[in-house]
Amino acid sequence: MDWRIYRGTGQAAPSPITALPQPPPWRRFTGEGVASRPDADGGETARRIGGATGRRHLSSAHEVSMVNAALYLRRPLLVTGRPGTGKSSLAYLIAAELGLGPVLRWGITSRTTLTDGLYSYDAIGRVQAAGARPDREPDIGDFVHLGPLGTALLPYETPRVLLVDELDKGDIDLPNDLLSVFEDGEYPISELVRIAKQQPEVTVFTHDKRGTAVIRDGLVQCRAFPVVIITSNGEREFPAAFLRRCLQLHLRPPDAEQLAAMVAAQFGEIERVDVARLIGEFLERSESVGGLAADQLLNAVHLAVELATSGAYRPDEEWNELMRAIWHPLSTAEPG
């Protein structure tokens, strides 16, 4: 019997998944209420992984197994690998294949805090609104906006996919700050907790475009723990307590077959351009400079297709010089 829920094809299943297998007892959550999610993402998934119909993304067996283990265990998946290996794309592949709706992306910087991911409260805006209409108390929910992490923890029937992108760029305390949220599957909104007796239900904005959700008693509790994909470029180590609560997947650079699948997913059938030759030259260049990113290949293919359409594509020395510029090393310390 095939235990896999996710198969790594990048193609949507005939119908979206309606439920996952039961989680371990210690990963079951009981959030009340029903949160709704949008079905469309404005083309973000197609932009990330390609939209050509009938094209398959090629995932390794180990990658597929680790994703499925994370789904069964309801644990975050920490994905490492050098830039351009498709770490972030994995979140979009999972969401597309399982029909889990738009990916909630939380991009991490050195100034990011846990609260940034959970929610924001515009106290100044509320004061200004009260001053503009002294005869009417502004609704506090109009000034609460859930972040990507906060939105992912709403009580959905099926999990949302949350991409925590480049966690290694964040503050050293951020991984530890995430532990309690990932373990408890809930968080309070203190501004709403304070008024819970007077106003037990408040409608707030979510991270989804034009999205709203009802918060009860100032507490957000998940029902289906989100599919959490955390990416890292390996710029620093994470605490042992954090690593213990994650599954780990290291992505190797894509090979020629995987690169061909990526190109096909983005462009479909290509005429008048020798894609296999371009991929071979890309891999040679990548090896000589210590590694290139897959999107650098896609840039080259797009240029080649555009030039071929106008009849100007010629893989001569001028083209080769252009490719050397586009396929530049990812570090100034690497040879040019």
Closest C-alpha among 48, 165, 146, 161 to residue 107: 165
On whether the CB atoms of residues 98 and 13 are closer than 8 A, the answer is yes
pLDDT, tens digit, 9 for 90 and up, residues 29-47: 999 888 999 988 888 988 8
For residue 232, is pLDDT > 60?
Answer: yes
pLDDT given for residue 52 in this prediction = 62
The first and second tokens of residue 50, run together, are: 């390609």
Question: Alpha-carbon distance 253 to 42, whole Å?
Answer: 29
Q: Is the pLDDT of residue 283 over 50?
A: yes
Strands (E), 139-263: 144-146, 161-165, 186-188, 201-205, 212-216, 219-221, 227-232, 247-250
User: pTM of the predicted model, to two decimals?
Assistant: 0.91
Q: What residue has token string 């996952």?
A: 20
Please state the rounded mean pLDDT for residues 184-199. 96
For residue 265, what is the DSSP state?
Answer: H
Domain locations in the chain as residue ranges: 25-250, 256-326
Q: What pLDDT band is residue 251 in, cutting at 50, 70 and 90?
A: very high
End-to-end CA distance of the chain: 50
Pick the CATH number of 25-250 from 3.40.50.2300, 3.30.465.10, 3.40.50.300, 1.10.10.10: 3.40.50.300
Mean pLDDT, residues 289-299: 91
Q: Answer yes or no: are the C-beta atoms of 144 and 192 closer than 8 Å.
A: yes
Run of H or E including 106? strand 104-107
